């Protein structure tokens, strides 16, 4: 079970961090990421944050029916994305993953088109916003029923193992998911089979309004890994580099045949659960503000600034570029037009069965 390259111990009492709040390198090993990748990680977080804010605006304009704010999750998500071999490994995401699929390479227009229900959505506008999927990226289709994707993720990893494909499955979810029976079923099966999968919990301490202390009697998520015979890692999810390095190690471990791992990334959700939620009913503002001060984007920026890899000029340029890219994505999504009504009857099965064809005719007249 022990890797030669092992940097992190499982089951640490404190969350693993590699840069401090003030942006200093504090890990006991050398940073081995080049400037380009560091800047890319930073900008991937910026994109996630921008999409979050811009889609919120589109929602208030009636162009998008719903948003699931992910501000505060960018560090964990970008760290996970960079730990994967895009297009080779598989991701089973959940609906709050925004920066994650985009950092994996999902074209922005696809994300925006999915949210807007436009014909540019490769999923053909079948789901509410924040439920992306991409066959090209092995990005499994997100589903709303919480934790229902955990057993499929386990199955995918079992398939990888028995076919010897050298792939790894990463499966993300929030803290609420860990209460579901399906979560147990999936994690347990993966554990029993020693499947190459990393379960990555973005613990933002709220399932809509229900706080973590009501979600479980346990102090943490990662300690539950004991019960499934796999290592549990506790990570500061507001530290993108810690998220990246721990995920890398868990992924490599799985790829090398050492089985699954559970990684808990401690994050915070700045916004409400969704555009339909008023979080002031259950969360003190002071708590939100305290977490905002630990913002993952600001933290990495301090680190990059210290290293001379980022400045205000770069920031301005990046912000403008991302805004333009978003505008362009919205324009493209709108230009693609609506999905035709008859598409409602397609993809239920490989072919449209006779009975459905009659129902389609009934609708179309």
Residues annotated catalytic, as ranges? 269, 273, 282
Query: What one-character-per-residue DSSP string does 99-163 give?
Result: HHHHHHT--HHHHHHHHHTBTT-TTTT-S-TT---BTTTTBPPP-SSTTTTHHHHHHHHHHHHHH
**Angstrom distance (rounded) from CA 233 to CA 245:** 11
For other proteins, the closer of residues 190 and 261 by Cβ is 190
- Identify residues 67-106 at the interface with other proteins (CB under 8 A): 90, 92
CB of 145 to other proteins, least distance (A): 4
> Does 179 interact with other proteins (rule: CB under 8 A)?
no
> Does 188 interact with other proteins (rule: CB under 8 A)?
yes
How buried is residue 93: exposed, middle or buried, by Cβ count under 10 Å (0-12/13-18/19+)?
A: buried
For other proteins, the closer of residues 219 and 347 by Cβ is 347
Among 30, 32, 36, 354, which residue interacts with other proteins (rule: CB under 8 A)? 354
CB of 169 to other proteins, least distance (A): 8
For other proteins, the closer of residues 46 and 157 by Cβ is 157
Among 65, 141, 332, 334, which residue interacts with other proteins (rule: CB under 8 A)? 141
For other proteins, the closer of residues 78 and 157 by Cβ is 157
> Does 334 interact with other proteins (rule: CB under 8 A)?
no
Stretch that binds other proteins, among 46-54, 156-164, 248-256, 264-272 (CB under 8 A): 156-164
**Angstrom distance (rounded) from CA 100 to CA 83:** 11
For other proteins, the closer of residues 167 and 220 by Cβ is 167
Query: What one-character-per-residue DSSP string does 23-39 give?
Result: S-B--SS-----HHHHH
> Does 348 interact with other proteins (rule: CB under 8 A)?
yes
- 259 CB contacts (<8 Å, ≥6 apart)? 190, 191, 194, 195, 196, 229, 230, 253
Q: How many residues bind other proteins (CB under 8 A)?
A: 51
Among 56, 122, 210, 252, which residue interacts with other proteins (rule: CB under 8 A)? 122
**Angstrom distance (rounded) from CA 111 to CA 101:** 9
Give, in degrees to the nearest 5, the angle at Cα 213 between 176 and 207: 25
- 285 CB contacts (<8 Å, ≥6 apart)? none
Cα–Cα nearest to 236, from 263, 199, 262, 216: 263
> Does 150 interact with other proteins (rule: CB under 8 A)?
yes
> Does 27 interact with other proteins (rule: CB under 8 A)?
no
Tokens of 134: 């991409």
> Does 149 interact with other proteins (rule: CB under 8 A)?
yes
Stretch that binds other proteins, among 17-25, 60-68, 161-169, 303-311 (CB under 8 A): 161-169
How buried is residue 138: exposed, middle or buried, by Cβ count under 10 Å (0-12/13-18/19+)?
A: buried
- The binding site for other proteins (CB under 8 A) comprises 90, 92, 121-127, 131, 133-135, 140-141, 143-145, 148-160, 162-163, 169, 181-182, 184-186, 188-189, 192-193, 346-350, 353-355
């Amino acid at each position: 079970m022990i890797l030669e390259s092992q940097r992190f111990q499982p089951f640490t009492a404190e969350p693993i961090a590699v840069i401090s709040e003030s942006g200093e390198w504090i890990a006991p090993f050398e940073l081995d990421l080049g400037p380009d990748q560091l800047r890319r990680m930073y900008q991937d977080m910026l994109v996630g944050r921008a999409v979050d804010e811009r889609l919120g605006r589109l929602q208030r304009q009636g162009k998008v029916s719903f948003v699931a704010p992910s501000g505060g999750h960018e560090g964990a998500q970008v760290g996970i994305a960079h730990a994967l071999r895009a297009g080779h490994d598989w991701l089973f995401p959940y609906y709050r993953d925004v920066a994650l699929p985009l950092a994996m390479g999902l074209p922005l227009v696809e994300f925006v088109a999915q949210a807007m229900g436009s014909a540019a959505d490769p999923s053909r506008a079948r789901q509410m916003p924040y439920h992306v999927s991409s066959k090209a990226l092995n990005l499994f289709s997100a589903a709303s029923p919480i934790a229902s994707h955990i057993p499929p993720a386990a199955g995918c990893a079992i398939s990888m193992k028995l076919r010897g494909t050298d792939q790894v499955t990463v499966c993300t979810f929030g803290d609420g998911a860990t209460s579901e029976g399906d979560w147990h079923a999936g994690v347990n099966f993966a554990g029993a089979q020693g499947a190459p999968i990393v379960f990555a919990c973005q613990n933002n301490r709220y399932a809509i309004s229900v706080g973590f202390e009501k979600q479980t009697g346990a102090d943490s998520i990662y300690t539950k890994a004991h019960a499934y015979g796999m290592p549990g890692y506790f990570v500061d999810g507001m530290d993108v580099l810690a998220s990246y390095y721990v995920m890398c190690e868990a992924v490599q471990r799985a790829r090398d045949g050492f089985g699954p791992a559970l990684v808990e990334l401690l994050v915070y959700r700045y916004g409400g659960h969704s555009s339909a939620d008023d979080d002031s009913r259950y969360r003190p503002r002071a708590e939100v503000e305290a977490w905002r001060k630990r913002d993952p984007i600001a933290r990495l920026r301090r680190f990059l600034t210290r290293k001379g890899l980022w400045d205000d000029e770069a920031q301005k340029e990046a912000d403008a570029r991302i805004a333009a890219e978003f505008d362009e994505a919205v324009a493209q999504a709108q230009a693609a037009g609506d999905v035709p009504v008859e598409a409602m009857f397609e993809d239920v099965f490989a072919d449209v069965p006779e009975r459905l064809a009659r129902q389609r005719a009934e609708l179309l007249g």
